[in-house]
Chains A and B, each alone.
Chain A
Amino acid sequence: MIRSTKDFWTGLIYIGLGVSAIVIARDYAMGTAVKMGPAYFPSILGGLLVLIGLISVIRSFVVSGTPIGAFGFKGLSLVIGSTLLFGAIVRGTGVLVALPLLVLVSAYGSTRFRWAPTIVMAFGLTLFCALVFIEGLGIPLPLLGSWFGG
């Protein structure tokens, strides 16, 4: 019976990542303690991580802990989704389209979302970024991208 879900899942993640590190590192040269190859340090770390993960999983059956709180899926998906969207379209559409979309989509994640102030904010932030970052600091992003012939 799992008594601490936090310990259990953290442990599983550590074990999974540790094992992957060791397995992937098998493609690299191990070397010796005197002349360490690229696999040496990652393998030690992977082993340590597996060990810590195992202790954590074992502990999850012995010691009870606080349960994992609910995931904020709405906020998570909108904040991460809007960032990915920005990355995907910014070269194609340019910042004049990609930035307002980033603001609108992410702002929708708030329980207090209202259209009017968000649109004003999207406009203001886009103007500011276009002036400061694109014109001022010369970051190589188009104002209007290739999809609009920019």
Chain B
Amino acid sequence: MELLSHLAIGWHTAATWANLFYCFVGVFLGTAIGVLPGLGPTATIAMLLPVTFVLPPESALIMLAGIYYGSQYGGSTTSILVNLPGEAASVVTTIDGYQMARQGRAGAALAASAVGSFFAGTVATLLIAAFAPPLAEVALEFGPADFFSLMVLGLVASIVLAQGSLLHAIGMVVLGLLFGLIGTDVNSGALRFTFGFFELADGIGFVTVAMGMFGLGEIVRNLQDENDRSVTASKITGLWPTKEDWRRMIPAILRGTVIGSALGLLPGSGSILGSFGAYSIEKKVSKHRAEFGKGAIEGVAAPESANNAGAQTSFIPMLTLGIPSNPVMALMIGAMIIHGIQPGPQVVTSQPALFWGVVVSMWIGNLMLLILNLPLIGMWVRVITIPYQFLYPGILVFCAIGVFSLKNATFDVYLMALFGVVGYVFSKLGCEPAPMLLAFILGPLMEEYLRRAMLLSRGDPMVFIRRPISATLLAMSVLAMLSVLIPTFSKTREEAFKE
């Protein structure tokens, strides 16, 4: 079996003491930030990226990946115990999870989420192992036009999934693409939009933008409604679910895993869509429909399985195509580039130890999460109750030092502050920062592929429709866009965000 020999290579990389340690640090930090409302994986990974420069690339990616799926795991704890989503993808878990906690069944809810996440993580790891290599081979056939259309699809998906006005989300994407073009044009060497600052010749670092918009902007927003954050966690009794619980949660976990894995693959999605999708489907198919919203264990097990599965399968487009499907994956790509690895379909074959090491580490990390976190739940409860006024100055310190260390330049500190203002103002105007960050990273790539495609086609824009792969991707983009404009779906989109 080829798969087994691949997994053996991965095991060899992932199971060294050093990498086990970094995997542990990753999932531990991930759980902590998942538990803490107001600190998400994007800002955390951006903050820690400079620290990983000193690590070997496998260890860096193993740790950063652990932060992402660990945060999905930790998010449910806060949702269940204090009715606040620790993580965006855990929003739906608050509905039934908190009700269960109020009925004194917090233990069962936490266990359902833990077991579901572990199962989903295991399946998603196997899916990556089985499907990433063939997909990467397909991706080697991609021409410039196909890559361009793929990025269009990714951006459209991020627009569709953004909260608030569709028009403004499109604007944020265009704006992000423009910001991405700041710096030296690779083709002509011309300096663009640098306003005379030589520091901008290399462009704006995406970590600077991510820390500004997701770190600083988020802090200012949280400070404004600080008073809503008084937190009292429910008591936990009896971690083990009853027989009846098991009977009800197993099918929910299975369904959640399938939905989450599939939706995680979509560019622009990641884990959030999966948890919403799994919850609404569970609500439709369950025999205990009346219990939803009043503490149905399916309402915890399904979305928590889905968000963990989605967090992991969203690595597939990143690892096989080199295209980020969400801001976290964009940071992972940045980490690879910093370590001298060009992301793309060739990574699977040219860096087998890295690729399979990261895949296998995901399963190990999930196992660590399962074993460590149920016994450690008392500690996480205490982490939740850390008041925000003791948290954000620390975040700010790590952002400031981290952003400085990227190029050893105070200029980046100022830029980060500027993007903090930009992020805050746009969030006040109802424009989400996530699509903009994604577009910011894709901007230069898109321009490059557009140029190449047009050069190859001698200036004929029909090339995007004539090539079958590109045409399919563009058709999917159009469908995704239309689906929002169709009243019935846009209503469910609004409802999903309201919940």
Query: Whole-angstrom distance from the CB of A69 to the nearest CB of chain B?
Result: 6
Query: Whole-angstrom distance from the CB of A28 to the nearest CB of chain B?
Result: 5
Report whether over half of chain B's contact residues are helix, strand or loop; otherwise say mixed: helix
- A72 is contacted by which of B51, B220, B459 (Cβ under 8 Å)? B220
A residues less than 8 Å from B54 (CB atoms): 137
CA distance A6 to B427 in the complex (A): 10
Which of B174-182, B290-298, B334-342 lies at the interface with chain A? B174-182
B175 touches A125 (CB 8 A): no
Near A by CB (< 8 A), chain B positions 441-495 give 446-447, 450-451, 454-455, 458-459, 461
Give B427's nearest chain A residue, CB to CB: A69
Say whether, besides A33-B459, A84-B417, A110-B388, A72 and B178 are in contact (CB < 8 Å). Answer: no
**Could you tell me how many residues of chain B have their Cβ less than 8 Å away from some Cβ of chain A?**
64
B168 touches A106 (CB 8 A): no
Interface string of A1-25 (1 = CB under 8 A from B): 0000011011001100110010011
B174 touches A45 (CB 8 A): yes
B389 touches A113 (CB 8 A): yes
Say whether, besides A34-B454, A79-B420, A133-B401, A56 and B193 are in contact (CB < 8 Å). Answer: no
A121 touches B168 (CB 8 A): no
Query: Whole-angstrom distance from the CB of B446 to the nearest CB of chain A?
Result: 8
A residues less than 8 Å from B459 (CB atoms): 32-34
Query: Whole-angstrom distance from the CB of B429 to the nearest CB of chain A?
Result: 5
B393 touches A121 (CB 8 A): yes
B residues less than 8 Å from A17 (CB atoms): 175, 178
B458 touches A107 (CB 8 A): no
CA distance A99 to B399 in the complex (A): 12
> Is the C-beta of B375 less than 8 angstroms from some C-beta in chain A?
no
A68 touches B188 (CB 8 A): no
B residues less than 8 Å from A14 (CB atoms): 171, 174-175
Query: Whole-angstrom distance from the CB of B47 to the nearest CB of chain A?
Result: 11
Say whether, besides A91-B410, A106-B396, A38 and B401 are in contact (CB < 8 Å). Answer: no
> Is the C-beta of B245 less than 8 angstroms from some C-beta in chain A?
no
- A42 is contacted by which of B192, B221, B405, B430 (Cβ under 8 Å)? B192
A49 touches B192 (CB 8 A): no
B171 touches A53 (CB 8 A): yes
> Is the C-beta of B18 less than 8 angstroms from some C-beta in chain A?
no
Give A35's nearest chain B residue, CB to CB: B455
Near A by CB (< 8 A), chain B positions 412-442 give 413-414, 416-417, 420-421, 424, 426, 428-431
B residues less than 8 Å from A147 (CB atoms): none
> Is the C-beta of B68 less than 8 angstroms from some C-beta in chain A?
no
B residues less than 8 Å from A75 (CB atoms): 219-220, 223-224
A110 touches B192 (CB 8 A): no
Contacts from A to B (Cβ < 8 Å): 6-7, 9-10, 13-14, 17-18, 21, 24-25, 28-29, 32-38, 41-42, 45-46, 48-49, 52-53, 55-56, 59, 65-66, 68-72, 74-76, 79-80, 82-84, 86-88, 90-91, 95, 99, 102-103, 106-107, 109-113, 117-118, 121-122, 125, 129, 133, 137, 139-141
A-B contact pairs, 6 of them (CB 8 A): A36-B451, A36-B454, A79-B396, A91-B410, A106-B392, A139-B401
Shortest Cβ-Cβ A-B pairs, 9 listed? A75-B223, A72-B224, A87-B413, A34-B459, A110-B389, A33-B459, A38-B185, A38-B190, A83-B417
